[in-house]
Amino acid sequence: MKFSFFNVILYKNDNPTSHNICQILDDIYNLHTPAQRTLQVDEQNFFSFPRLSTDDDRPQFRYFWIGKFLNERILEANYANDDIAELDGNAYSPTFMAYEEAGHLLMMQNVMQGVNRRVLEKFLNGFLPKDSEDNYEIKVIQQKNSEGLEVINPNTNIMSINIAIKTEYYNHADFFEDNTNDNALAALLNNLYRFSCDNDVPEFDLSFKKKNFRNNIRHTLIDMVRIINTNSNALSKALVRVKLNNGDIKNIDLLGTLNLVKELNVNQNASFDLLKQTLKDNITNNNWIPQTAITYLATHRDLGHARFVDNQDDTEIELVTEPESMYRPINND
């Protein structure tokens, strides 16, 4: 099971604040009925908030489910026979999440038909007051994977390298930080550039793949990749896929466009309690949360939402009791 990492910030009048998100989650869950915390998003699917759990060992943690009611017709079948029956009740796809207040850090299970960043934003914002003097908005910000080539050591297995270049902007002198013609990679790219210009090719790429060959790609190629200027307008893509000594596969994006994702060894259909306990054990015993996720806001002070630490706000927010888009049973009488 894979998890993505986010930061959750409450904005007040367009300014990020340090407001306690745990308190908002607690109030939504504890002060509303199940129907009141079942909201329709974008006039399409309904989403509900059926589980919330705290942690005595980590009081700043919240574990919760927010799930999607599926509109598709779901049938119940059996591997051993041909019996097919209508599913009793509504088809439902929950997404497991954990939130840690100190770093405003959210960990969200990746579910194909579940909750995503945009849905979570709209769901939570549905409970914020709309008629107060102040304008409140919750923003869920995706964390990017900031790991670079520094994770590669002499024993790292290079799986593949892929570089894509915009022909219009390519200039050898600007593309490499170490401007030398002795670089075999530079010579190869220069030839591809000339060919692309001659044939009106707007973008060209270069790929090196190990696939199933026994020998490893030589690290001299990585040394050449290291001197690429990642700020060059010509660089459209730069991905390096490696296998670390512990067997982990890492996708390194030199442009920083990949989302930060971490694997958790647990069954995709595990119960809420099992998911909570497995995640808790991995955080406690295996330092499961990447350090880059914990310090993301501190190391990205250039991002607007990272300014939340400068805006202390303990204002008590009175949530909407009955959100506009809440589920209302149809009365057939």
Rounded CA gap, 269 and 242, in Å?
Answer: 29
- Of the candidate ranges 25-39, 94-108, 220-234, 299-313, the one whose mean pLDDT is the lowest: 299-313
DSSP state of 172: H
Question: Which two three-digit tokens encode residue 74?
Answer: 């779901």
Q: Are residue 85 and residue 213 in the same domain, yes or no?
A: no
DSSP code per residue over 205-273: EEEEE-TT-SSPPPTHHHHHHHTB-TT-TTEEEEEEEEE-TTS-EEEEETTS-SBPEEE--S-TT--HH
Which pLDDT band, with edges at 50, 70 and 90, does 302 fall under? Answer: low
Residues 6+ apart with CB under 8 A from 119: 41, 47, 68
The number of CA neighbours under 13 Å toward the Cβ of 118 is 2
Task: Evaluate whether 244 touches 171 at the Cβ level (below 8 Å).
Answer: no
Instruction: Classify residue 322: in a domain, yes or no.
Output: no
305 and 238 housed in the same domain: no
Q: Cα–Cα distances in Å, from 202 out to 6, 12, 186, 206, 295?
A: 35, 44, 19, 14, 39
- What are residue 197's phi and psi, to 5 degrees? -65, -45
126 and 239 inside one domain: no
- The answer to whether residues 70 and 113 touch, using CB atoms and an 8 Å cutoff, is yes
Separation of CA 243 from chain center: 21
**pLDDT tens per residue across span 110-132:** 998 889 999 999 999 999 998 88
The residues, ordered by sequence, that sit 6+ positions from 133 with a Cβ below 8 Å of its Cβ are none
Confidence of residue 332 (pLDDT cuts 50, 70, 90): low
The answer to whether residues 36 and 323 touch, using CB atoms and an 8 Å cutoff, is yes
- Domain membership of residue 315 (yes or no) is no
Whether 136 and 275 map to the same domain: the answer is: yes
Q: What is the pLDDT of residue 331?
A: 64
Residues 7 and 134 grouped into a single domain = yes
Which of helix, strand or coil describes residue 327?
coil
139 and 205 belong to one structural domain: no
Q: Two tokens at 325?
A: 């888009």
**Cα(187)–Cα(217) distance, rounded to whole angstroms?**
19
Q: What pLDDT, on a 0 to 100 scale, did the predictor assign at position 333?
A: 46
Would you say residue 325 lies in a domain? no
pTM recorded for the entire structure: 0.80
Rounded to the nearest integer, the mean pLDDT of the chain is 90
Average pLDDT over residues 36-56: 95
How big is the CA angle at 311 (ends 64 and 143), to the nearest 5 degrees?
45
Clarify whether residues 223 and 275 are in a common domain: no
CA 191 centroid distance within chain: 38
Domain with 279, as residue range(s), is 2-144+261-310
**Total domains in the fold of the chain:** 2
Instruction: Provide the token pair at 172.
Output: 């050898």
321 domain residue, yes or no: no
> What is the per-residue pLDDT for 8?
96
CA distance 1 to 13: 37
pLDDT value, residue 239: 93
Contact call for residues 6 and 106 (beta carbons, < 8 A):
yes
Q: Is residue 333 part of a domain?
A: no
CB within 8 Å of 97: residues ≥ 6 apart: 63, 64, 65, 66, 106, 107, 108, 109, 115, 120
Strand partners, 332: none
What pLDDT, on a 0 to 100 scale, did the predictor assign at position 306?
Answer: 62
Tell me, yes or no, whether 52 and 90 share the same domain: yes
